[in-house]
Structure 1
Amino acid sequence: MSDEKTHFGYQQVPIGEKAKRVADVFHSVADNYDIMNDVMSFGVHRLWKRFTLSQTGLKAGQKVLDLAGGTGDLALKMTSMVGPSGQVVLSDINGSMLRRGRERLIDNGVAGNIEYVQANAECLPFADDTFDCITIAFGLRNVTDKDKALRSMLRILKPGGRLLVLEFSKPVAPGLAPVYDAYSFKLLPLMGKYIAKDEDSYQYLAESIRMHPGQETLKGMMEEAGFNKVKYHNLSGGIVALHKGYKV
C-alpha cells in the first residue's frame, strides 16, 4: 500500500485517508451548513455566488453540473436559468450534504429538470462532452487530487463549455491578511463551537483554506489540465476568487 501523504488541514495524512476524513467533517456540519455560511461570511457568500451565476452564460435548454454542490443554493438558481428543457445535475461526494440539497430543492418546488448524483470529482461518472457548464463552489480545496479532478471536469465538458471554480484564495488588499488570519483561527472555530457545536470541523475548514493554492497557482493548474482562456476575478479583496476556464 502506498505510504504517500497529503494534507488534511495542517496535518499530513495517508492519501487514502483524506476522503474519509473530509467526509466525516461534512457529515458533521451538514445540518448547520447554511446558517454557518451566513454567519461566517456575514451573508456575503450570497453575493459571491450571485456573481458566479452571472458568469455561467447559461441559456434555456443547456445542461449544467454543480459539483460539490452541497445544500443546492447554486443548483436552485440554475434550474430556472436552464428552464424545463434544460437539466441541472447536483453532485456531491458527501451523502449528508446531497440529502440536504435535495430536501432544499424539493421544498422549493423544483422537479423535472434536476438530478442528484453522489460522485467523486476525481472520477466523474458522466460521458465525455456532456455539460455546457460546470460549477464548483468552495469544494475544490477538499479534493485530494485536484489535478485529476480538473482533468475529469474537462473531459465531461462540451467543446466551448466553461468551468467556474469559486474558492477561498489569498487576500491581496493591503492590510487584509492579518485581520483575516485572526478571524479564521480565532473567531471561526469559536463560531463552529457555539453555533454548530463542532469546533474541530471549523478549525479544519480554516486550515484547508490556507492550504489551498493561490490565484496564480490555481490558474496554472487549470491551464495544465487543458483549460483555455483561464482568468480569475478577486472578490472581497482576494479572500475569495472566481476562476473561469474553457474547453477548446
Structure 2
Amino acid sequence: MSDLLSKSLPNTYGLLFEHFGPQGWWPTTPRGELRPRYYPEAFRDHLLPEEQWEIVVGAFLTQNTAWRNVELALGNLSAGGLLNLRGMHDLEWDELAALIRPSGFFNQKSSRLKQLASHIVDRYDGRIDALLSRPLIGLRRELLSTPGIGPETADSILLYAARYPFFVVDAYTRRIFGRLGLFDPDLNYAAIQSIFMDHLPQEVQLFDEYHALLVRLAVTYCKTRPQCENCCLQELCEYRNHL
C-alpha cells in the first residue's frame, strides 16, 4: 500500500495541476482594494504581517461557510480600514460581529477573533509575525490551545500564513480520496495527514498547491453529487469505475 501511495499521490497531483493550473492560494486583499485576490502567477514564500493576519482571519471565518461569504466579511473589514490586528483588537465585540456577519456564526467568530488578537497583543506586542515565527511544534500546540482553532484551522494557518510544510486535511480531502479508493475517508485527521506527509516531499509550495487543487476539484466536479464524466481523475477513480 505504501508503494501505491508513493506513486498515486504525486500522480494525482500532476493530473490536477495539468487540468486546473496553479491556484495562487491563500488569497489576500491588496492595499486600496476591498476583495481578496489570488496569485497564480507566482508562489509567494514571504508574506507581509498584514497578509498573515488576513489569512488567520480568513481561516477562522471560513469555518462552516462558503468562501464567497468570507469575502463579503473581509470586504466589510477592508472598507472600514479594520483588516489588521490592532484595528480588530480595539474594535468592540458587537461591532466586529456586525462586520463579519456574512460569514455566519458571527457572534462566536467575533469572540474568538477578539481572544486571539488580545493574546497576540499581550504576548507578542501585537506582532502576528512574531507568533508565526515560532518553531513548528510549539506554534501548532499554541494554536490548538486557542478557542476556535482545531487541527484544520491550525494547519491552514501553519501552511498558508506561517509557510510551514504541514498538509491540510478537510472534508474535500476525505471525499476525493475515499472515492479514489486510496484510503478510508473515516480515518482520523492525523492518520490522513500522515499519509500525505509520509508519501510526498515536505515542500510548502507542493502542500499549498495540492490542498488548493483538491478544493478546486471538489467544488467543480467531485461534488456531493459528482460530475464524473468531466473529471480529470476519472481514469484513476474507483467510484467512477464502479458506476
Q: Larger helix proportion, structure 1 or 2? A: 2
Q: Larger strand proportion, structure 1 or 2? A: 1
TM-score, structure 2 as length reference: 0.27
TM-score, structure 1 as length reference: 0.27
- Look at both structures and tell me which one has the larger radius of gyration over its CA atoms: 2
